[in-house]
Amino acid sequence: MIIIKEKILIKNYKKKIKENNSRNIDDLKIVSKKKISKFSSTTFMNSEAMEKNQKADNNIILLKNKIMDDFELNNLEFEEALELDSRNFIRIYWSILKREYSVIFTFFNHNDYNLYYLKFTRFIFLIATDLAMNVFFFSDETMNKLYLSYGEYDFVQQIPQIIYSKIVANVIEVFLCFLSLTDKHYYQIKVLPKSQKIKIFEIIRCVRVKIIIFFIFTFLTFLFYIYLVTSFCAVYENTQILYLKDSLSSFVFGLITPFIIYFFPCLIRLIDLRCKCAKWKCMYNLSEVIPIF
């Protein structure tokens, strides 16, 4: 009996050893699978990062081999601009003013892939918008102040009205830029290969639709401006000179402010490119927001 009990104990002990060994083997398999999956995922991520870096390097090499104008340089990604944009502050500042400052853009910036009759129409329409916006903000309170001051023109008193009218005019200008600027579409077509003819025709069709909407919008709005200004001048005959002074002040204000507004994004862009630090990338992206188009 004692011998039988010993044999049973020995068998149970061997079973426990086998079970423990099998569990250890299973654990080792699970751990090894996890390691293999982690290794494969890390290698996959590394391969993706390497492919992205290689594509970025190839893009930079391709861009280096071609001559780029100011529009293309201003729209480069941060990594590409670090390698390719070696312009100084004056050149960057002038390149933005050429496209964003209405007087320079209309009369001094030629061969920029924008249609001149659209540029000239937009310039005239913006002047008419300044005149119309000053009518909207010529309130009863303004009339009362003019009456109390015996019709004398006070520029400081009119500053809020000038600022409000200019803000609304700038919003309308952004919409007109969206409809009238054709250079960005030229660069879209320039990048596309010749095999994508359908995409090219879609871009051209989009430009045509925008131009049609531009002329319809400016024509109808211009008629409304004429009715508004003539009605105002007919009703308030004694304020015509003051109204013209307000409109002139608003126009001059609009000629001065772009020099200040576009100074800061140019400065931020130049600092970012000279520091060559990835931490400045968000500031670089912010500097591209201010010139909306």
pLDDT at 105 over 70: yes
Which residues form the domain of 232? 102-261
pLDDT per residue as tens digits for the range 108-131: 888 888 999 999 999 999 999 988
264: nearest Cα among 245, 236, 235, 287: 287
Residues 62 and 124 in one domain: no
pLDDT at 23 over 60: no
Q: Which helix (H) or strand (E) holds 220?
A: helix 197-235
CA 176 – CA 113 distance, rounded (Å): 16
Residues 178 and 56 in one domain: no
Yes or no: say if 262 and 100 are a contact pair by the CB < 8 Å rule.
yes
In this structure, what token pair is assigned to residue 231? 């009605």
Number of domains comprising the chain: 2
In this structure, what token pair is assigned to residue 30? 């699970």
According to DSSP, residue 194 is labeled T
Residues 115 and 172 in one domain: yes
Relative orientation angle of helices 155-180 and 240-261, to the nearest 10 degrees: 60
Among residues of the chain, what percentage have pLDDT more than 90?
18
pLDDT per residue as tens digits for the range 241-292: 877 887 888 888 888 888 988 898 888 888 888 877 666 677 777 777 776 6
Residues 59 and 117 in one domain: no
Residues 39 and 160 in one domain: no
Residues 6+ apart with CB under 8 A from 168: 133, 136
Counting runs of H as helices and runs of E as strands, what totals does the chain give? 13, 0
Q: Which of 43, 66, 89 is the last residue of a domain?
A: 66
Residues 169 and 253 in one domain: yes
Q: Which of 17, 39, 66 is the last residue of a domain?
A: 66
Residues 6+ apart with CB under 8 A from 283: 268, 271, 272
Residue 87 lies in a domain: no
